Structure formats: structure tokens, C-alpha cells
Chain A
Amino acid sequence: MTPDQELISRVIACDDHAAFSELVRRHQSAVRSFLRHLTRGNHALADDLAQEAFVQGYRSLGRFRGGSAFLTWILGIAHNQWRNARRRPQFAALADDSDEPLAPDLTAASDLRSDLAAALRTLSADEQLALHMCYQQGLTHEEAAALLDWPLGTVKTHVARAKEKLRHHLAVWNPQT
């Protein structure tokens, strides 16, 4: 598989559409699932924002310094798109209510998974977002903190607290506790 960096170089050097299309195909799932998470499962809005994020990414690709992974960079753009959208009056309902849990997009493929999905729903929105960034998106705590504009300690606290809550909810799966 061609590395992201090579595809990016091809887009910058020769405006290679096929290379950018490959980047979109490769990362669309992560960006869309991130935005679905932020929009509380509003798939249409999430996809519109994801499309805008990729278009913005295409226009700004010349400024991509390669200091982070392409995915982290494009997620940052997606997060900005989300923040801008939230300021529009028609999206006022999507204002940041940290107490209101998000609906996790998790397929119940087994009993444990469905229990996990149910347990995730009991977490606060910020705790779910922190877990989503660090586990489902595979970002480090530092990357998640930079992307979400949160202090590093906040990310670590949310992750730790969320995991403790999940352990408590899923205690039945651990016969030794």
C-alpha cells in the first residue's frame, strides 16, 4: 500500500486527483465516524461536514508539514468544521452539552460488545469523545488533546475515569473481581 506521505507528495507536486481520492477512501471511515460521534449520530450532517473537511484538506494540503499523521491532520480540520457548524443557528441544538451522552456507533456483534455499547452510553459526552479519539481513532493522549483543544490532563482524566466506569459496568465479564 502506498504510504500517505507519498500520496500527499503526488497531490502537491502534480495535483494528482487519483492520489487524493485514495487518501479520501483510506480515511473517510475514521473522519465520518468521528463526526457522527460529534453530531450525536446525525449521519447526514456528519457526512456533509466530512466532505467539507476533505475539500478544505485538499485546498490546504500545501500547508501540511508532515509533523503528524495525515489522519490526525484531517481530523483536526473535521473538528474545526464541526465547531464552525455548531455556531450556525440551525445547529444550535448541537451545542456542547457535556452531560448529554452521545450515541456510540457500535455494532452489537456479541453479548460483550452489546454490554460495552450499553456501558459506553452511560458515559458523559466528553468521556466518550476521549475514548473515541484514543481507542477508535488510535490517537495518543497528546494528539487527542491538541486536536480537541483540551489540556493533556483533561484527556488523561476522561480516559481513566471512563475506563473505570466501563470496568464497573462490565464487572460481570471479569469473574475475578
Chain B
Amino acid sequence: MESANLDRSGSGDPLDQLLREARPRIADDGFSTHVMAAVDARRRLARLRFCLMVAGGALGFAIAAAAGAFGPGATHVSADLQRNFSDLAAVAAKPSVIIAAIVIAAALVYVFRRNARDPAAR
């Protein structure tokens, strides 16, 4: 039988001490090896994803080039793009659109700040 008692009058609280000593220690038993294997697997997957993205971009570019997007017709494409961007700028200058944009931006800032308070992304 232990001689400890839970009297608080002495130096320090024996109950505090008891609770701290009750900390369980779980043996690793290969856990960290499994974690590192999972980390490696995720890294390989991320690398594969990146390679696929680059390859997809290159393929898209090649298809566009083969379809003649960069030939003489490209001037028309550029002019169309410029016209579309001017139309877009005219729409964006409307007060209602500006207010909507501010509301959306505020909502995004709120969401990201909430996430930033967490130690990691949910």
C-alpha cells in the first residue's frame, strides 16, 4: 500500500502529482515506421500529381498548337480576348458588382482567418 495521502496542506498538491504520474506511455511498436511510410506514399502521390499536371498542360499546349491556335488566326483570338476583357471591366465597374465583390471578399477573409486559427487546415 502506498503511504501517499491527498492532503493539500503540504508543499504542492498530491492529487496534481498523482494525476501527472498517471500519464500513460504508449510503446512505439512500429507506429513511427508506419507514419513515415504514409508520408513517403503521400509525397510520391503529390509528385505524380504535379507531373500529371505539367504533362497535361504540355499536352493541351501541343493540341492547341496542332489545331492552329498559334497560326494566322491567332490575331482574331487576341482581339476577341481584348474585347472580352473590356466588357468584363465595364461590368466590374458597376456599384452593385463592387458591393458583391466586397461582401464575397469579406466572407473569404472571415473563413480563412477562422482556418488560420486552427493549427492545420481542416
Contacts and interface: CB of A to CB of B under 8 A. Distances in A.
Contacts of B73: none
B34 to A, nearest CB: 6
Interface of B: 1-2, 4-7, 9, 15-16, 18-20, 22-28, 31-32, 34-36, 38-40, 42, 118-122
B1 A111 contact: yes
B119 A163 contact: no
A142 interface: no
A97 to B, nearest CB: 22
Given A24-B31, A117-B22, 8 more contacts: A24-B35, A25-B32, A33-B24, A51-B31, A76-B118, A167-B15, A170-B6, A171-B6
Contact of B32 (A28, A106, A111, A170): A28
B22 A113 contact: yes
Contacts of A47: 31
A50 to B, nearest CB: 7
A95 interface: no
Given A21-B32, A54-B35, A131-B19, A110 B25 contact: no
B18 A112 contact: yes
Cβ-closest 10 pairs across A and B:
A76-B119, A135-B19, A24-B32, A29-B26, A174-B6, A60-B120, A77-B120, A136-B23, A54-B35, A174-B5
A173 B14 CA distance: 11
A57 B9 CA distance: 43
A64 B34 CA distance: 23
A107 interface: yes
A33 B1 CA distance: 27
Contacts of A166: 15, 19
A80 B122 CA distance: 6
Given A56-B120, A77-B120, A170-B15, A25 B24 contact: no
Contact of B4 (A60, A112, A131): A112
Contacts, number: 121
Interface of A: 17, 20-21, 24-25, 28-29, 32-33, 36, 47, 50-51, 54-60, 63-64, 68, 72-74, 76-77, 80, 83-84, 105-107, 110-113, 116-117, 131, 135-138, 163, 166-167, 170-171, 173-177
A110 B2 contact: yes
A40 to B, nearest CB: 15
B22 A173 contact: no
A58 B39 contact: yes
Given A112-B4, A177-B7, A55 B24 contact: no
B119 A73 contact: yes
B7 A174 contact: yes
Contacts of A55: 35, 38-39, 42
A33 B26 CA distance: 7
